[in-house]
Amino acid sequence: MHTKQKNSVVTAQTPAIHQDQKGMVAIMVTMILMIVISLIVMGFAQISRRNQRTTLDRQLSTQAFYAAESGINDARKLINTQIQNGNAVQSKTTCGAATNGMYANLPSNVIDSNSDVSYTCLLVNAQPTSLRYDKIEDQSTIIPLISGNGNIESITITWKKADQGNATPITNCPNGPSVAQEFSVNASWNCGYGVFRFDLVPVGGSGLTTNTLQTTTMTTFAVPTKNGTNGITFGANTNAAAGVKCDNTNCTLKVSGMAASDQYYMRARTIYKGAPLEITGQTSGGQEVQFTNSQVVIDATGKAQDVLRRLQVRVPVGEVGSQNQLPDNALQSNDSVCKRFSVMDNYYVSAVPGTISDSNVLCQP
């Protein structure tokens, strides 16, 4: 009897042990959900921290940009002061503060000491080996080509497409140099490049007179073509029009035979379309021309805490710059102009002075 009772007790307790294990599933589900929620929260926290850092970096980048711009303005102001005082512009080849020379007068490079904002490096190149202009248009730009290291033997002129979104600007350009003598109206010009017109005159030496200016000035209309030339020779009254071979990137023309002088002046303008322009040169000794008294390259690095911004700008020498102060037209009027004379080969006729005759066909509306 005793043995049977013991067995019956054990048998009666067994189902109770199995019922206590039913809560394990809920515990596991709860743990998995907690892990998933924790990962989601950690992800959002990471995104939030990243966004905060991005916002801070943008703010610091703006501060660093303006710090670099302050360095450029400080250098430009000092350069203009030097020019106004009749002194030559010097180069600055080291980042640190100058202890002598014109750049010893620069103000402090610290913009905001509390926020750790300053420009840490300021470089100035007073004799760059290239001259660059963002856009040459129909109003003339005067460009001094003055070599600081010998006579100029040649210059290379490069102008780019006006529309940077045009992948194939050469498609509708003239085919060859034979059409370089022909010009169309603006509405009919479909080439992606403009015609580049330049006047080039040597001004070095002591024999500069109005007569020498007339007899030595070279005027050329460089017409972009598909199968033109990339080189011409300097000479007055020659190469009045040149068909320049262009591709889908730029047009390049080399003018050689200029070794008679180390100083030239160029008047540059474009027809139909504006264009970014770059000019490089080579001396008679085979070196790159170091242009002086034309452009100064200022390179400044701004710093805001751990963010750096670097700016490089080209500024014309002097306050006025390279903008032509003379009109490009022999005659300019705010209203229509009545032509009261005719000029042709071996022929000239004019209307009666002081009157506008109805019989004069040149004055008909």
- For residue range 166-186, list pLDDT tens digits in order: 889 999 888 876 655 567 778
pLDDT of residue 220: 92
Q: List the chain domain ranges.
A: 24-127+296-328, 143-291
Quote the pLDDT of residue 29: 81
Residues 6+ apart with CB under 8 A from 282: 152, 153, 154, 155, 156, 288, 289
Give the distance from CA 293 to its chain's centroid. 19
Confidence at residue 32, expressed as pLDDT on a 0 to 100 scale: 86
Mean local confidence (pLDDT), 70-92: 90
Question: Phi first, then psi: what are they for 339, rounded to 5°?
Answer: -80, 115
Q: Are 70 and 119 in contact (CB under 8 A)?
A: yes
| pLDDT (tens digit per residue) in 118-140 | 999 999 999 999 999 998 988 88
Supply 280's token pair: 């490089």
| Res 233 pLDDT > 80 | yes
Can you tell me the distance from the alpha carbon of 84 to that of 48, in angstroms, rounded to the nearest whole number? 54
Checking if the pLDDT of 23 tops 60, the result is yes
> What burial class does residue 24 get, using C-beta atoms within 10 Å of its C-beta: 0-12 exposed, 13-18 middle, 19+ buried?
exposed
With contact defined as beta carbons under 8 Å apart, do 293 and 203 qualify? no
Residue 194 CA from chain centroid, whole number? 18
Answer whether residue 85 shows pLDDT above 60. Answer: yes
The single residue listed with the structure tokens 């943008």 is 58
Percentage of the residues of the chain whose pLDDT score is greater than 70: 79
What whole-number distance in Å separates Cα of residue 68 and Cα of residue 111?
10
Q: Is the pLDDT of residue 25 over 80?
A: no
SS3 187: helix
Cα dihedral 137→203→264→195 (10° resolution): 40
pLDDT higher than 60, residue 254: yes
Q: What is the DSSP-derived secondary structure letter of residue 79?
A: H
Q: What is the pLDDT of residue 27?
A: 80
Instruction: Please report which confidence band the pLDDT of residue 44 belongs to, taking 50, 70 and 90 as the band edges.
Output: confident
What is the Cα–Cα distance from 71 to 119, expressed in whole angstroms?
A: 6
The pair phi, psi for residue 285, each rounded to 5°, is -90, 5
Residue 267 pLDDT greater than 80, yes or no: yes
Phi, psi of 310, rounded to the nearest 5 degrees: -115, 135
pLDDT at 239: 80
pTM of the predicted structure, to 2 decimals: 0.74
Mean pLDDT within 312-323? 70
Q: What is the pLDDT of residue 161?
A: 86
- In this predicted structure, the answer to whether residue 338 has a pLDDT above a threshold of 70 is no
Query: Which tens digit of pLDDT belongs to each residue from 138-155?
Result: 888 889 999 999 999 999
Question: Higher model confidence: residue 123 or residue 205?
Answer: 123
With a cut of 70, say whether residue 324 has pLDDT above it. no
Task: Classify residue 363 by its DSSP letter.
Answer: G
Please name the residues in contact with 216: beta carbons below 8 A apart, sequence gap of 6 or more.
201, 202, 236
Structure confidence at residue 188 (pLDDT): 84
- Mean of per-residue pLDDT scores for the chain: 82
Are the C-beta atoms of residues 103 and 79 closer than 8 Å to each other? no
The predicted structure's pLDDT at residue 54:
81
